[in-house]
Homo-oligomer: A and B are copies of this chain.
Amino acid sequence: MPIDPQEFADLPAVDVHCHPFLNRGALDAETFTNVASFGGGSQAYMEQGGVAFTDDIRHELQGLKRDTLYFRRMVRDLAAYFGVAPTLDAVLEARNAAVAEGYSDYVRDLYADANLTTLVMDFGYPVPNLDVAQVSAELPVEVVPVYRIEPLIVELLRADIGWDEFERRYIDTLADALASGAFRGLKTVIAYRTGLDISPLSRTRDQGYQALDAIRRGLGGGSMKKLRDHLVCRALELSMEYDRPMQIHTGMGDFEVNLPLCRPSFLMDLLRFPTFRACRVILVHTGYPYHGEAAYMANVLPRVYCDISEGTPFAGHAARRIISEVLEMAPPSKVLYGSDGFGVPEINYTSAKLGREALAGALDDIVAAGMLDRADVRAIAGGILGANARRIYRLD
């Protein structure tokens, strides 16, 4: 008896990695495409490249965005939800009508259809950061804020302060974010900046002093990397002190990610270092397309976890493959569902639909391969969809 995604319909989904958004009202096709798609470039991207943004170029980019299997899938999912034809125009007409009748009600119904109950949100994106209270008030589901260290680093670099004050404000701000309960964990996107090859020796505060001093004096010479590496180590220490998970971006991102240095394997030396072994670290995006590395690390490092977001939904039919390949090595209790949704509520929705379906498919394959008792499937599915995240983030 193959596994029907409907079997998991009553298992609540926790989206362990996404970004806050506010009601944008009605959206036209071009705006919706720009917001809800992934990749395909932008007007700014082309113009910075000296390409005049003619109608032809606009059309080319819109076409690319709508051409991905992810975007096609989202349109189909929404068409099925609204009961309209599977075209972007029909979907948007229904969507905008629903939003006009009440945004929160629209989102409530949409997320109820996907049994999506909880959003763990990295408030460090978009920039400028959205207000936690406002987002939480507007969204009719449980919102769990996570604090990203990079906007704070930008702010402290801009201030005219030396290391003592920099360090004090950095530590105090993070500690307060965690101690107050306002944020349930930390996050870093150093993979977008200087990369993941972080030496565990970077944790000495001397490195922070030396690096900031060199930056202030305009010396360069890798100072920024030294500073960032140090600050990530300090954030890991605070995560342990407050017993909260640390999310580390690994693998794919937008066009600005440091692709050669975003592979999870670069984190091995750091995470297996005795000092950091107690830290619960979530490898965001499970490093896709390097998810084999993340899964391996989740196997041999007892406090390392895999979040399947961004591959689900933006890599389309990859979702099933990613889940299956991650489960080759990662204990199922360390695998977490997520979407990396942003901007509009529809991304989280289609991701939850796709993720639930891909999970059923992957587990079906694994049972068929004689690797798993059929009776164990539901507990594993419930864990990946939400229970594992609830346990790690202590949400109950």
Residues in B with CB closer than 8 Å to A370 are: 73, 76, 357
Given contacts A277-B46, A278-B50, A289-B296, contact A314 B329 (CB under 8 A): yes
- Mask for A247-271, Cβ within 8 A of B = 1, else 0? 0000010111101100101101000
Bound Cα distance A67, B302 (Å): 12
**Cα–Cα distance between A327 and B301 once the two chains are bound (Å):** 31
Report A33 CB to chain B, min CB distance, Å: 13
Shortest distance between the CB of A44 and any CB in chain B (Å):
10
- Chain B nearest Cβ from A13, distance in angstroms: 18
B-side contacts of A327, CB under 8 Å: 69, 316-317
Q: Does A51 contact B (CB under 8 A)?
A: yes
Contact B299–A38 (Cβ < 8 Å): yes
A8-44 to B contact mask, C-beta < 8 Å, 1/0:
0000000000000000000000000000001111000
Query: What are 28 A-B contacts with C-beta separation under 8 Å?
Result: A38-B299, A38-B300, A39-B299, A39-B329, A46-B302, A48-B277, A49-B274, A49-B277, A51-B278, A64-B333, A67-B331, A67-B332, A68-B329, A69-B332, A72-B372, A73-B370, A259-B293, A259-B296, A259-B297, A260-B263, A260-B268, A288-B292, A289-B295, A289-B296, A316-B329, A317-B327, A317-B371, A318-B329
| Other A-B pairs, 19, CB within 8 Å; known A255-B272, A317-B366 | A39-B299, A41-B302, A48-B277, A51-B277, A64-B334, A72-B372, A73-B370, A86-B373, A257-B268, A259-B268, A259-B296, A260-B266, A289-B292, A289-B296, A316-B329, A317-B324, A317-B327, A320-B369, A321-B328
